[in-house]
């Protein structure tokens, strides 16, 4: 259906959608008509319904595009907002119509069903999340099918990913970073005890709630290593490198035989990102990053800042050691090593780091926003994590994870900056490691052996035969030195093949001067196929002049705000170009109602921004992208 051009047409779509009772719509119209405040244009009227708490940003946007169907899935779930999108589908904030509870629905797109591996991976994620029940892991409630839609019902986390927090607000205070990484380590420990390895730990998969709790997301790559068979792994994963190149453990790039220590390496890369604002190896192709993880050390944190405690830097070095045997052997050891800082009190995350919610969602959350902001300084998260009686941290013997101050404690030695755990005579190892199977795609061929408790890294005797690791090597490889040679040869062959392929394509297409631009444009258009609301820093972006000719297309545009104007709306204008019609991001009246014009002007004036949305080209004046949600704007770090 075409987009509505008038308020009556928009109202007709609202009534057809079934989102609002007719009596509610009539009451709003009569009240504002009597007060002479009834808008006469579609955008202000939609913003009015959002301010009244009757529609969400997502619902208003869909109605303005002429889409009035499928605001409910089955008879149980009402769609409220689009939270995000990924390779395995879009995630929506929904309300359970009977239980009046907010949930997150991960929906597998219909077109993904053409590939049988996608549905099997989707079901594997559902099984993985359903097997876990921990406060630091996003819970799963149900998996269901409606018509051709397959969807997973999960816990709704009112917050942002650590990736978004750092991208928008810069590096984090070391104590806060220690809190969040320690929480993630406790969640990974729970998955490890159930025989699972996440394999894709990264800032984008760690969600930070308004209350300061971190939850692990996206078990789509996890495996059930305590199962006799995993047909999805055997069919589709055996010859693939799975994970994110920026945080991938060295052993994960060359083999599917990985264990929980690969997650510890990725978590160390996440801690590096929280402290520095960039990935360990930000430059180069994916192949170059994989080689760097195996052969190079990242730029020291001290080159970015000088306020990180030496002991925390030592923890980071142990987490990101190239050899798995030199890392912490269980996630709980990471949590213990960070206890010195995780036991310090921190405030809940500031409101500016959290997503802006529309009035309707705010009402449905039941004062969830006020709860975090009104509590003042929070109880130390270290006390919550390591306090007595916390079953999530109890060892195999049933003792608490609390570490007393001295004697046979698990407390960190503060003097030298090195991380070590002091013990009294005869005390047990700091973490009684539960049996933990190895991650392998070759379940029948490779043995899975439990980890042996390990001494602190500083006190471990040197190895001369490669046999001191807590894990037994696969039967086909009898020497760690031989493994290194095999890895080096494999990486070298891959690198040479990549160079040869690159030279071939450069020679073949070298005559086409605009090939790079064409491919970037095609990539941007392909990315639009999965609908998402906000821009990212790593996607291709149009210049204002190039975007001005993309009428009707959804684009991401980057430019510096040269001036700000507008009457009812707020136009963030790019510098004028005599050859082009000009470009502006137009902040809607509904969004301005949540802030003052002065605040928005101060926030964006002179800044380089990215805006994402549908380009609208008028007969006269600049091309614009309508901004109805704060997630559509992103300030590019200088």
- Please tell me whether residues 77 and 120 are part of one structural domain: yes
Q: What is the mean pLDDT of residues 281-290?
A: 88
Q: What is the total count of domains within the chain? A: 5
Question: pLDDT for 449-472, tens place per residue?
Answer: 333 444 444 444 444 444 334 443
- Please tell me whether residues 381 and 422 are part of one structural domain: yes
Which has more confidence, 377 or 97? 97
561 in any annotated domain: yes
- Please tell me whether residues 209 and 142 are part of one structural domain: no
Is residue 448 scored above 50 in pLDDT? no
Which of 335-349, 482-496, 522-536 is predicted least confidently?
522-536
> Which residues are CB-neighbours of 339 under 8 A, at least 6 positions away?
182, 382, 385, 386, 403, 410, 411, 412
pLDDT for the residue numbered 68: 85
Q: Which residues pair with 105 in a beta bridge?
A: 92, 153
pLDDT band at 634 (very low <50, low <70, confident <90, very high): confident
- Please tell me whether residues 149 and 168 are part of one structural domain: no
Question: pLDDT for 555-582, tens place per residue?
Answer: 899 989 988 888 778 888 888 775 667 8
39 in any annotated domain: yes
Q: What is the mean pLDDT of residues 420-431?
A: 35
Provide the 3-class DSSP secondary structure of residue 498: helix
Is residue 526 scored above 70 in pLDDT? no
pLDDT band at 603 (very low <50, low <70, confident <90, very high): confident
Residues recorded for the chain: 638
- Please tell me whether residues 488 and 574 are part of one structural domain: no
H-run or E-run covering 499:
helix 480-509
Q: Tell the residue number behind the tokens 């070391």, with chain if given.
A: 174
pLDDT for the residue numbered 490: 79
> What torsion do the CA atoms of 194, 199, 203, 207 make, to the nearest 10 degrees?
-30
471 in any annotated domain: no
- Please tell me whether residues 552 and 604 are part of one structural domain: yes
pTM: 0.58
Domain range holding 485?
478-511
175 in any annotated domain: yes
Is residue 306 scored above 90 in pLDDT? yes
1 in any annotated domain: no
472 in any annotated domain: no
pLDDT band at 3 (very low <50, low <70, confident <90, very high): confident
pLDDT band at 405 (very low <50, low <70, confident <90, very high): very low
Question: pLDDT for 60-106, tens place per residue?
Answer: 999 999 988 888 887 788 889 888 776 556 888 999 888 888 999 88
- Please tell me whether residues 317 and 419 are part of one structural domain: yes
- Please tell me whether residues 494 and 549 are part of one structural domain: no
Among the ranges 23-32, 213-222, 237-246, 384-393, which has the highest mean pLDDT value?
A: 23-32
The strand pair at 608-616 and 196-197 is best described as: unpaired
pLDDT for the residue numbered 224: 39
- Please tell me whether residues 261 and 291 are part of one structural domain: yes
pLDDT for the residue numbered 380: 46
At CA 352, angle to CA 373 and CA 153, rounded to 5? Answer: 80
pLDDT band at 188 (very low <50, low <70, confident <90, very high): very high
Which has more confidence, 187 or 143? 187
- Please tell me whether residues 262 and 133 are part of one structural domain: no
Q: What is the mean pLDDT of residues 246-253?
A: 88
Between CA 337 and CA 319 the distance in angstroms is 10
Q: What is the mean pLDDT of residues 240-258?
A: 77
**% of the chain residues with pLDDT over 90:** 24
518 in any annotated domain: no
Q: What is the mean pLDDT of residues 332-348?
A: 93
Average pLDDT, the chain: 74
What CATH number is associated with residue 579?
Answer: 2.40.50.140
Q: Tell the residue number behind the tokens 């019902």, with chain if given.
A: 153
pLDDT band at 329 (very low <50, low <70, confident <90, very high): very high
Measured CA to CA in angstroms, residue 471 lies from 241, 337, 480, 482 at distances of 22, 22, 12, 16
469 in any annotated domain: no
- Please tell me whether residues 128 and 27 are part of one structural domain: no
Torsions phi, psi of 532, nearest 5?
A: -145, 160
- Please tell me whether residues 423 and 320 are part of one structural domain: yes
Which has more confidence, 446 or 604? 604
């Amino acid at each position: 259906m075409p987009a509505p051009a008038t308020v009556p047409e928009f109202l007709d779509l609202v009534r057809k959608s079934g989102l609002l009772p007719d009596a509610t719509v009539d009451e709003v119209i009569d009240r504002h008509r009597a007060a002479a405040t009834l808008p006469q244009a579609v955008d202000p009227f939609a913003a009015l319904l959002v301010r009244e708490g009757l529609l969400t940003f997502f619902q208003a946007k869909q109605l303005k595009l002429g889409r009035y169907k499928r605001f409910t899935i089955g008879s149980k779930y009402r769609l409220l907002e689009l939270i995000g999108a990924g390779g395995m589908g879009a995630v929506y904030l929904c309300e359970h119509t009977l239980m009046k509870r907010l949930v997150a629905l991960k929906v597998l797109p219909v077109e993904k069903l053409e590939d049988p591996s996608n549905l099997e991976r989707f079901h594997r994620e559902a099984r993985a999340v359903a097997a876990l029940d921990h406060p630091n892991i996003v819970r799963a409630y149900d998996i269901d099918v409606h018509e051709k839609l397959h969807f997973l019902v999960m816990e709704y986390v009112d917050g942002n990913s650590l990736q978004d927090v750092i991208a928008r607000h810069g590096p984090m205070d070391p104590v806060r970073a220690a809190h969040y990484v320690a929480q993630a380590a406790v969640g990974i420990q729970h998955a490890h005890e159930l025989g699972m390895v996440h394999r894709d730990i990264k800032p984008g998969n760690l969600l930070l709630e308004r209350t300061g709790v971190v939850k692990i997301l996206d078990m789509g790559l996890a495996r059930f290593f305590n199962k006799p068979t995993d047909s999805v792994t055997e069919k589709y994963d055996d010859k693939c490198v799975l994970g994110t190149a920026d945080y991938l453990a060295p052993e994960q790039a060359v083999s599917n035989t990985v264990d929980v220590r690969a997650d510890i390496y990725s978590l160390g890369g996440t801690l590096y990102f929280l402290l520095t604002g960039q990935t360990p190896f930000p430059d180069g192709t994916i192949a170059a990053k994989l080689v760097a993880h195996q052969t190079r050390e990242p730029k020291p944190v001290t080159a970015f800042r000088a306020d990180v405690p030496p002991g925390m830097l030592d923890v980071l070095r142990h987490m990101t050691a190239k050899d798995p045997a030199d890392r912490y052997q269980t996630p709980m050891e990471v949590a213990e090593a960070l206890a010195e800082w995780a036991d310090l009190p921190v405030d809940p995350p500031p409101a500016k780091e959290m997503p802006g919610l529309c009035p309707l969602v705010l009402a449905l959350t039941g004062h969830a926003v006020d709860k975090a902001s009104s509590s003042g300084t929070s109880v130390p998260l270290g006390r919550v994590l390591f306090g007595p009686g916390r079953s999530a941290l109890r060892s195999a013997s049933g003792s608490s994870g609390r570490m007393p101050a001295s004697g046979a404690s698990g407390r960190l030695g503060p003097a030298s900056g090195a991380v070590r755990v002091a013990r009294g005579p005869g005390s047990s190892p700091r973490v009684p490691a539960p049996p933990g199977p190895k991650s392998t795609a070759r379940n029948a061929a490779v043995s899975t052996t439990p980890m042996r408790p390990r001494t602190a890294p500083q006190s471990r005797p040197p190895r001369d035969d490669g046999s001191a690791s807590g894990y037994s090597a696969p039967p086909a490889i009898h020497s760690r030195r031989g493994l290194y040679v095999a890895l080096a040869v494999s990486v070298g062959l891959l690198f040479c093949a990549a160079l040869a392929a690159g030279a071939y394509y450069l020679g073949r297409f070298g005559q086409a001067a605009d090939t790079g631009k064409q491919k970037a444009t095609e990539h941007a258009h392909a990315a639009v196929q999965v609908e998402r609301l906000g821009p990212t820093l790593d996607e291709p972006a149009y210049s204002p002049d190039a975007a001005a000719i993309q009428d009707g297309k959804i684009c991401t545009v980057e430019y510096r705000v040269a001036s700000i104007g507008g009457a009812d709306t707020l136009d963030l204008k790019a510098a004028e170009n005599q050859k082009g019609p000009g470009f502006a991001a137009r902040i809607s009246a509904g969004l301005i109602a949540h802030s003052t014009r002065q605040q928005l002007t101060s926030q964006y004036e002179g800044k380089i921004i990215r805006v994402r949305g549908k380009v609208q080209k008028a007969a006269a004046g600049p091309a614009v992208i309508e901004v109805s949600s704060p997630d559509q704007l992103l300030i590019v770090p200088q």
